[in-house]
Amino acid sequence: MQKRYFGTDGIRGHVGTHPITPEFVLKLGWAVGTAFRRQGSCRVMIGKDTRISGYMFESALEAGLSAAGAHVQLLGPMPTPAIAYLTRTFKADAGIVISASHNPYFDNGIKFFSATGSKLPDELELEIERLVDEPMQVVESAQLGKVFRVEDASGRYIEFCKSSVPTSTSFKGLKLVLDCAHGATYKVAPSVFRELGAEVIVIGDKPDGLNINDQVGSTDLRALTQQVLDSGADLGIALDGDGDRVLMVDHQGVEVDGDELLYIMAMDLHRRELLRGGVVGTQMSNLGLELALRDKGIEFVRAKVGDRYVMAGLREHDWILGGEASGHIVCLNHTSTGDGIIAALQVLKALQHNGQTLAQARSGMLKCPQTLINVAYARGADSPLADPALQHAVAAAESRLGDSGRVLLRLSGTEPLIRVMVEGQDAAQVESEANILANQVRVLFAAEAG
């Protein structure tokens, strides 16, 4: 069955526009509580990022869950992977994150974790959607869910992150800049790296409800790059608004994306004979990553874009490492979901193991020229991806690129965008082909609007 509300990463959209409204989220909380209570008692943990609408949706979820008889534990502002971890360790039945990840403050979303800290199965998401359309029935007063606040959540998660590297680990002598995107990691992330001995300069750590991901974080590396160069730091680390993505900048101010970070981690594990199997990437992963891993005898497979598909690929192959160029990296030997802080720690430890700078470690992977153009479209508009004229244009571009290039057009699972990606050996040709296809998409939307 086709899902109406759930995308690749929960339910997301513009605040005040259905379904991201207080009324819907109240009903959603009730539906989630009802679905889980049918399996027995229900205890749910709720965390959020720092955007201003989080207070409103936290209250709506809390009321809906209580009305269904589910007990609620509030975590406050916490990274998405922290909610996954705490859901497991507190033996809760589910975890809920109020966040739109890397999106601007005027968007928000609701995403869920099961008792194991993993994304909900499709069948349960469909059941929740079915319940949302049913009349809301409040349980008897004596059965209403109770609400508690967890006071030591941050400390628990900080220790968990530190446990992902050996207890003997010390980053003393390492100077780094940390960009918290004015988001959910603004308290915990600096503590993790400082407690492991690094000298940490922090930016993006003053959230005001409106500045999350605004010219900071993994979606905009300019502030981080400038701070790394100005301070003479060894490297910079950029997290996104909810802390499940990480990108880096080397000491020269050069961006190091998720594909390159995956390469560094995979090579370190491979050298130490700890890489179980291969690496899972996505359709958007740079061809250079695949070629560099293949050169070392490391298998590489591509999943559909989205962390749930990376996770499915890892489970299918029983592997431990996968991720996306955007910086969403999964280290299944340490945690159950993508975690920006833990991924960053593994990269730092890899550099330490091999006595390399970030620039040296990334040099073994040569990225193929790749151009990505995002074409916006109105929410609810029909996608033009199946249009014969566009398919013909894609086929023509693939023919011109030959065997050394790739074309990918896809709908974003988190934003109203069509992503046009072209990859090949010649940078000028790649950019030209991407612009041709992006313009074709714009023409089709304009024709539809007309």
What is the average per-residue pLDDT within 178-196?
A: 98
Give the amino acid at 275.
L
Predicted confidence at residue 380, as pLDDT, reads: 62
Give the amino acid at 395.
A
Predicted confidence at residue 450, as pLDDT, reads: 47
Overall domain count for the chain: 3
Predicted confidence at residue 416, as pLDDT, reads: 81
What is the average per-residue pLDDT within 93-109?
A: 96
**Residue that has been written with the tokens 């109020």 in this structure:** 98
Compute the mean pLDDT over every residue in the chain, rounded to the nearest whole number.
Answer: 94
**CATH code of residue 275:** 3.40.120.10
Both 358 and 380 in one domain: the answer is no
Both 104 and 137 in one domain: the answer is yes
Give the DSSP per-residue string, 74-114.
EEEE--HHHHHHHHHHTT-SEEEEE--TTS-TTEEEEEEEE
Residue 40 has pLDDT above 80, yes or no: no
- In the numeric block, which tokens belong to residue 122? 């499709």
Residue 5 in any domain: the answer is no
Residue 1 in any domain: the answer is no
Both 58 and 181 in one domain: the answer is no
Distance of CA 256 to the CA centre of its chain: 17
* Domain final position from 123, 151, 179: 151
What is the average per-residue pLDDT within 16-37?
A: 97
- Band (pLDDT 50/70/90 cuts) for residue 403 is confident
In which region does residue 101 sit, left (phi positive, over 0), alpha (psi from -120 to 50) or beta (all else)?
A: left
CA distances from 255 to 81, 118, 226, 262, 343 (A): 24, 30, 12, 14, 16
Q: Could you give the strand order of the β-sheet that contains 300-303, starting from the edge strand earlier in sequence?
A: 300-303, 279-282, 321-323, 329-331
What is the average per-residue pLDDT within 215-221?
A: 97
Residue 195 has pLDDT above 70, yes or no: yes
- For the stretch 148-185, pLDDT in tens is 999 999 999 999 999 999 999 999 999 999 999 999 99
Residue 443 in any domain: the answer is yes
Predicted confidence at residue 381, as pLDDT, reads: 63
**CATH code of residue 437:** 3.30.310.50
Both 20 and 169 in one domain: the answer is no
Residue 446 has pLDDT above 90, yes or no: no
Both 261 and 169 in one domain: the answer is yes
In three-state secondary structure terms, 141 is helix
What is the average per-residue pLDDT within 263-290?
A: 96
Number of H helices, E strands in the chain: 14, 18
In three-state secondary structure terms, 291 is helix
In three-state secondary structure terms, 178 is strand
Supply the residues annotated as catalytic. Answer: 101
CA distances from 302 to 220, 237, 305, 340, 368 (A): 26, 26, 9, 21, 16
Both 133 and 201 in one domain: the answer is no
Predicted confidence at residue 448, as pLDDT, reads: 56
Both 330 and 196 in one domain: the answer is yes
Q: Are 213 and 181 in contact (CB under 8 A)?
A: yes
Helix ranges (H only) for 324-365 are 340-354, 358-362
Predicted confidence at residue 447, as pLDDT, reads: 58
* Domain final position from 339, 362, 385: 362
Both 330 and 272 in one domain: the answer is yes
Both 114 and 205 in one domain: the answer is no
Both 86 and 193 in one domain: the answer is no
* Domain final position from 307, 334, 362: 362
Residue 18 has pLDDT above 80, yes or no: yes
Both 126 and 78 in one domain: the answer is yes
Both 178 and 91 in one domain: the answer is no
Domain that holds residue 101: 11-151
- For the stretch 361-395, pLDDT in tens is 999 999 999 999 999 877 666 677 888 989 999 99
- For the stretch 233-273, pLDDT in tens is 999 999 999 999 999 999 999 999 999 999 999 999 999 99
Residue 142 in any domain: the answer is yes
Pairwise CA distance, residues 256 & 424, whole Å: 19
Residue 208 has pLDDT above 60, yes or no: yes
Predicted confidence at residue 379, as pLDDT, reads: 62
Pairwise CA distance, residues 94 & 47, whole Å: 11
